[in-house]
Chains A and B, each alone.
Chain A
Amino acid sequence: MMELLIAVGVMCAINTVLALLLVIADATIANYGECGVTVNDKKKLMVPGGRSLLSVLRDNQIFIPSACGGRGSCGLCKVTVLEGAGATLPTETPWLTPEEQKGNVRLSCQVKVKRDLRIQIPEELFSVRQYRTRVVSMSDLTHDIKEVKLQLVDPPAIDFKAGQFIQIEVPPYALTDEPVYRAYSIASAPSETGEIELEIRYVPNGICTTYVHRHLKVGDAVTINGPYGTFCLQPTGREMICIAGGSGMAPIKSLLLEMERARDPRPCRYFFGARARRDLFVTERMRDLEQSLPNFRFIPALSAPAPEDRWEGETGLITEVVGRHVADASEAEAYLCGSPLMIDACIRVLREKGMPESNIFFDKFG
């Protein structure tokens, strides 16, 4: 018995001493004191050192877009760091072109603030704000996609362009110890400034999607920030080819609603890919749009329709369907939203049909 107690005691003592040592080291060696971050040479922030640039900027109400929430897996949170960051890290190089590396572009989630920094960010990011919102409705669009309507509380309205996205802040809960941020496209029209709609697909063990699907209720408060993104309608008047899959519906729907409001007569075809009938949603609304927009056609396609679906529409992979419908794309422009795999495949098809790369706009889920 005594031996057992000594063993446990020694083990505890050794672990405590080592933990204490690390705590002391963390407070002394890893303590970088206060650092100054100069943004665009006009705003100087005093921030605690040792944390990532992305998170200290967020604490100071400057929101850099980031879809993965700081894990270095989306490559969106690029900022130009003019002074004080050291060399580019191996975790950043996959996301940066050689020109960007030469131009001191860095991923702000990977840059640790250790001394005074001088950084440059796009001017429009200053207009990105944090909004307090309230869930006013939640409904199932399909078996795994929920539509979430958020009413803006403070500030009471948001000004965004169709196709842009916002970030949801997920508070700490069972799956996460700290707040995380995830990006979702706005599915509603920009003319509705007091309320926005999001379409969120459930991903098993996804931190944000589990939170939304399993925990979030009508009436709950949700903090968002935004708007971000350049996936917007180009005022060229060219024929449009929209392609989306799954919750990639959201930004395209926003674009179409904006066109409806403006009574835009541009020819537009919208290819929407799903597996079976149970994965289709807002089809009725799209059929309405075919009535109100003179030159709009909605073409849903199922890749694996179930026998009970009695599907008579298009079947096959979305790329095959696009290939069958589009003969010459050299004068058109494309808006794509979906998984990286789908987008890459669609770009290949459109290029084969003669579409210049500069006419293809897309929103990849990171």
Chain B
Amino acid sequence: MQELGFFTILFSAVFTNNILLTNYLGMCSFLAVSREVKASLGLGTAVFFVTAATTALNWAVYYHILVPLNLVYLRFIVFIVVIAAFVQLVEMIIERVSEALYQALGIFLPLITVNCAILGACLFMVIRDYSFGQACAYGAGAGLGWALAILAMAGIRQRLAQRSRIPRGLEGPGIALIIAGTMALAFMGFNGMVSLN
């Protein structure tokens, strides 16, 4: 497992082991904010950024604080606290530095504190015994994969809303779940190329 290269991990986190479509993590915001491409691009970017950064951050916290002190059972709560604080910090910085970026990401940042995909990425990195470099690659890949999935979903849903007559009983979450399932099936096609497990 240790010999997996950074690029392999990145690639497989995006495609073969997409955190959303194979692990079904981060579904709530995936379903709620995938109506329009514009909004999902904003959320996707925010998730990518936060996942990549907090995976690295939590790697350091885990291996330099929790493991030496024998406190690995605290990882869930510690990871969440670190993510929440980081999101706050990022929000302040973005608001100060770039008005345009704040407009695009600002309202999504508080939302993703509780996005389980981000916590999931941190936990997978622990389960799979990644080195720091691998953890960074995995975090970036997981975030990128999530962003890709929500963008694809938004594209499909936007198109459906314009062109198609959806049976009334399937409108909204119904059709969204079916699309998600079909997308997951399609992503299964990548399976066997590289495996993380």
Contact = CB atoms under 8 A, between A and B. Distances in A.
Contact of A18 (B66, B74, B82, B99): B82
Interface stretch (A6-14, A185-193, A324-332): A6-14
Interface stretch (A20-28, A154-162, A260-268): A20-28
A50 to B, nearest CB: 10
Contacts of B69: 6, 10
A15 B61 CA distance: 12
Interface in B99-131: 99, 103, 107
B65 interface: yes
Main SS class of interface, B = helix
B185 interface: no
Interface string B46-73: 0000000000000001000110011100
A87 B99 CA distance: 9
A18 B71 contact: no
Contact of B70 (A3, A14, A86, A90): A3
Contacts of B89: 21-22, 25
Contacts of B81: 14-15, 18
A11 B70 contact: no
Contacts of A87: 99, 103
B85 interface: yes
Given A11-B78, A18-B85, A21-B85, A30 B71 contact: no
B74 A89 contact: no
Nearest to A86: B99
B88 interface: yes
Main SS class of interface, A = helix
B92 interface: yes
Number of chain A interface residues as a range: 10 to 19
B107 A30 contact: no
Nearest to B78: A14
Nearest to A11: B74
Interface in B118-164: none
A245 to B, nearest CB: 35
B166 to A, nearest CB: 27
A174 interface: no
A282 interface: no
A29 interface: yes
B188 to A, nearest CB: 37
A140 B92 CA distance: 48
Nearest to A85: B99
Contacts of B36: none
Interface of B: 61, 65-66, 69-71, 74, 77-78, 81-82, 85, 88-89, 92-93, 95-96, 99, 103, 107
